[in-house]
Structure 1
Amino acid sequence: MSEAYWQSVMQTGKHVPVDRSLDESTVELVEMLGHPNPRMREEIAYPLLTTWLSQGVYDDLLAGLGDGIAPGLRYGLGHDGDVSVIRRSYSALMLAEILGRDNDEHLMSADTVLGWGDLATSWYVREQDHRGWIPEQGWAHAIAHGADLLAALARSRHFGRLELTVLLDVIADRVLTPTAYVWRHGEDDRLAYAVMTLLHRNALDTGIVEPWLARLGDGLRPPRTRGHLDAEWPSPAAGNTSAFLRALHLQLALGVQGRADLRSDDELFAEQPAHRADLLLAVLDQIRGESPWLYRPTSRARPVE
Structure 2
Amino acid sequence: MENNLKAILKEIKEDNYEVPATIDVNELILRMMDNIGSLDIELREKLINSTMYHLIMKNKIPDKKLIEVLKMSIDKNHLFFGIGEKGTDSVFTRTFSILLIPLILIKHRESNFLSKEEIKVVYVKVVDYFLKEKDLRGYVEHKGWAHSVAHAADALDDLALCSEIEYKELLYILEIIKEKVCISNYVYINEEDERLVTAVISIMNRGLISDKELCKWINSFSNYKKTGLYPEDDNLLTNVKSFLRSLYFRIIKLENKKSLVEGIRKGLEIISNFN
Same fold (TM over 0.5): yes
1:53: Cα distance to partner?
A: 0.6
2:265 to 268, 279, 284: 284
Deviations 1:226-254 (A, max 9, x none): xxx45446332332121111111111115
Give the aligned partner of residue 240 of structure 1. Answer: 239
The structure richer in helix per residue is 2
Contact 2:37 2:93 in 1 (8 A): yes
Contact 2:183 2:239 in 1 (8 A): no
SS in 2 for 1:235: helix
Map residues 126-137 of structure 1 onto 2, 5 A cutoff: 126-137=132-143
Deviations 1:110-164 (A, max 9, x none): 1111101100011111111111111111111101101111101011111111111
**Shift in alpha-carbon separation, 1:77–1:5, aligned structure 2, 3 A:** same
Counterpart CA distance in 1 for 2:161 and 2:9 is 33
Q: Which structure 1 residue ranges, 5 or more long, are not aligned?
A: 224-228, 256-271, 294-305
1:58: Cα distance to partner?
A: 2.4
Contact 1:33 1:41 in 2 (8 A): yes
Letter in 2 for 1:18: A
Runs (4+) of structure 1 exceeding 4 A deviation are: 229-233
Give the aligned partner of residue 200 of structure 2. Answer: 195
Counterpart CA distance in 1 for 2:63 and 2:86 is 37
Counterpart CA distance in 2 for 1:83 and 1:282 is 40
Counterpart CA distance in 2 for 1:200 and 1:120 is 21
Contact 1:59 1:107 in 2 (8 A): no
Counterpart CA distance in 2 for 1:20 and 1:230 is 57
Contact 2:153 2:195 in 1 (8 A): yes
Count of residue correspondences: 269
Counterpart CA distance in 2 for 1:98 and 1:243 is 30
1:183 to 160, 182, 188: 188
**Shift in alpha-carbon separation, 1:98–1:213, aligned structure 2, 3 A:** same
Residues 1:163 and 2:169 are matched in the alignment? yes
Q: CA RMSD in A?
A: 1.9
Letter in 1 for 2:246: A
Give the aligned partner of residue 251 of structure 2. Answer: 252
TM-score normalized by the length of structure 2: 0.91
SS in 2 for 1:42: helix
Map residues 1-150 of structure 1 onto 2, 5 A cutoff: 2=4, 3-61=6-64, 62-71=66-75, 72-150=78-156
Counterpart CA distance in 2 for 1:281 and 1:166 is 23
